[in-house]
A and B are shown apart, each in its own frame.
Chain A
Amino acid sequence: MIGRRHIIVHENDTVSTLLDANTADTSLEGGRACAPGIRFGHKVALKSMVTGEPVLKYGVAIGVATQNITQGDHVHVHNCR
């Protein structure tokens, strides 16, 4: 199992974008955990974050965590705003 394809756009990012449709896999390429069910183009947490922490993609804050996020979680409108 090599894990799901994903792209970290910037070295400082705390989320990565998934680039395949293997939603049943539970790991990322490189070995980190990945929650099942995250679709192509959606984001996975690269590290755990606490409520209020900025979510970084493209090296900038694209939002803040609205609840605690665990590494491997799907990051989207339910936990980031």
Chain B
Amino acid sequence: MSTTAAKTSDMNISGYRRADGRLGLRNHLLVLSTLALTNRVAALAAEAVPDCVLVAGDMQRGLRGRDAKLQDHVVRALLHHPNTGGAVVFVHDTAARKRLQEWTKTCKRPIEVLAFMEGRGVAETVRRGNEAVIRVHTALKAQVRTPGHLGELTVALECGGSDATSAVCANPVIGSFVDMVVAAGGRAIVSETAEFIGAEQVVAQRAASPEAASEILEAIRRRERMMEEDGEDYRGVNPTQENIEAGLTTLIEKSMGAVAKCGESPLMGRLDFAQEPPGPGLWFMDTPFFSPVSITGMVCAGAQLTLFGIGVFNPSAVPLAPTLKICGNPVTVRDWPDAVDVDVSMLVEGRGSLEEAVQTLIKKVAEVCAGATTWAERWGEGQIIVPREAESI
């Protein structure tokens, strides 16, 4: 926040320049299964090289309306993502292969599409997959990192496993960094709509325009109505007795613990799930609160990096964009040494100031932007989960 005098001017950002000008922090070889039926052959195909990013989720046939459109959009967003250097994609049949191949031309990067139904046995299908993976892998080796700048980043903001420390340590540290990214001309996306219940006044004050305020407030009201339909009186029971014991006095104070990770930049407007921000600044994406789902939405909107504030440990991450776990709880830092990337527990232990904690984050982000791996990347942690509204046919 504004108390910090931290500088980002000396931050070296480098990455892979895509044909459309965007900067990828990674040059991933994505092996993507577009249907749960092809998950196993995709996984076996990915074994041809050691460092593929495999996305083999719960993609279905028979989806309807918005669900069908969103699943299709997510497939394309993953292939078009700046961190995707190239890809091998498994689809079901010839028609789907032709349709996707036509579109992948616009991505201007090595992408091979294989149709499962064109195979002649499992071994042969896997072998074709292995060969495609090796071809794309070879093509990617030729690409080199080029310089970029902070304003080219789109940062996904997340918090989970929240406790008393995340509200006053990890999240404000993230917020300070977000203000710097936005000041440099970059983008940040915050999501998990329900976490904003109680912070409506702050949203209204920080919205860049009356339209932005009304569309975000409408999304918050919609999620609250969902809870009411399920018989839950969120506003009535919060802060809970447990929250009050922990020191939280009002609902807005509780909500601000999560909102603190946004910093103080104006909210430009509301995005639909996985919708790319139409311009620079801080954006609000209307998503469910479950972190693997909300991060999927923000990464599919083009975020190259996820800043994830935690109190107790939460393993969630997305495979395509490096996820930094930032933690101010000394117990969590001690117990999860192979999972916490940025230790800001100096605040709790009296070993440093907020400014120093922000500097620690800046240094780590710079390293990760230059190619250093996060713990979630090392563990291969990550899910892509697409939310659904309706029953399928």
Residue ranges of A at the interface with B (Cβ–Cβ < 8 Å): 5, 7-11, 17, 19-20, 29, 39-43, 55, 57-63, 75-77, 80-81
Contact = CB atoms under 8 A, between A and B. Distances in A.
Contact of A20 (B2, B172, B247, B350): B350
Interface in B124-182: 164, 168-169, 172
Given A7-B354, A43-B247, 14 more contacts: A7-B168, A9-B260, A9-B354, A10-B3, A17-B164, A19-B168, A19-B347, A41-B246, A58-B1, A58-B256, A62-B256, A63-B249, A76-B249, A81-B249
A80 to B, nearest CB: 5
Please list the 6 inter-chain residue pairs (A to B) with the smallest Cβ-Cβ separation, ordered nearest first: A41-B164, A42-B247, A41-B247, A62-B253, A5-B350, A58-B256
B244 interface: yes
14 contacts: A7-B169, A9-B1, A9-B260, A11-B3, A20-B350, A39-B247, A40-B164, A40-B247, A42-B247, A57-B253, A58-B1, A60-B201, A63-B253, A76-B247
Contacts of A81: 249-250
Contacts of B123: none
Contacts of B168: 7, 9, 17, 19
B259 interface: yes
How many B residues touch the partner, as a band?
20 to 34
A19 B260 CA distance: 18
A77 B244 contact: yes
Given A41-B247, A58-B259, A58-B260, A11 B253 contact: no
Interface of B: 1-3, 164, 168-169, 172, 201-202, 205, 244, 246-247, 249-250, 252-253, 256, 259-260, 264, 347-350, 354
Nearest to A43: B247
Contact of B202 (A5, A39, A60): A60
Contacts of A41: 164, 246-247
Nearest to B254: A62
Contacts of A43: 247, 249
A42 B253 CA distance: 12
Contacts of B252: 60-63
Nearest to A55: B249
Nearest to A77: B249
A78 B57 CA distance: 50
Contacts of A8: 3
Contact of A57 (B164, B256, B264, B354): B256
A76 B2 CA distance: 25
A7 B164 CA distance: 12
A72 to B, nearest CB: 16
Contacts of B172: 9-10, 58
Nearest to B239: A77
B356 to A, nearest CB: 12
A55 B137 CA distance: 57
Given A10-B1, A60-B256, A62-B250, A19 B348 contact: yes
Contacts of B201: 60-61
A80 B164 contact: no
